[in-house]
Amino acid sequence: MKAIKEFGSWIGAFSMAFVLSLVIGIFVFQPFKVEGHSMEPTLQNDQRIYVSKLSHTFSYLPEYGDIVVIDSRVNRERTLTDSILENPMVQYFRGNMDEHVFYVKRVIGKPGDVLEFKENQVYRNGEALQEPYMKEAMIFSSNRKWTVPDKHIFVMGDNRNNSSDSRNIGYIPLDHVMGIMKFP
């Protein structure tokens, strides 16, 4: 009888720890792994970063230059179920750790900004951006003017010549910003 009580106590403690960890990972902070070379030289492939999920939880706008983790599936609505199923612990128990939908990028544009790509340079609202974090000169120009819609951001990798970002996937809805990097 004592052994059953002890076992029940352990199960209860484990369950509480699991739920608390899940809540923290969904709403407060979460580790992510950088996959690929799009953020070099700032971040390296396979580097672990920690993001504050408070921006996602409370839907506030990141600042220019913030490094964010985004859900690249911008053409679908996100739900709380997504956040639960994408938690690393839940993915581990479900056995699907290979889903590559989260990108690490830098915020370049916020709602209302007009972005242009002229002469391999990014212009925001008519002014050329000074971007010392870039790996090399960007080889990209476009005649298009990109106006960032309300409740969206525009993101790019620091390695512009090797990055799938808002130029390809479009504007990022705020609810697809999973968090802001706080610790590399």
Q: Name the residues annotated as catalytic.
A: 38, 105
DSSP state of 183: E
> Using an 8 Å Cβ cutoff, are 134 and 108 in contact?
no
d(CA 67, CA 62): 9
Cα separation, 120 vs 116, whole angstroms: 10
Work out whether strand 48-52 and strand 127-128 pair parallel, antiparallel, or are unpaired: unpaired
What does the angle CA 75 – CA 79 – CA 84 come to, to the nearest 5 degrees? Answer: 125
Cβ atoms < 10 Å from Cβ of 154: 24
The amino acid that residue 65 corresponds to is G
The full length of the chain comes to 184
* 3 state SS for 150-179: CCEEEEECCCHHHCCCHHHHCCEEHHHEEE
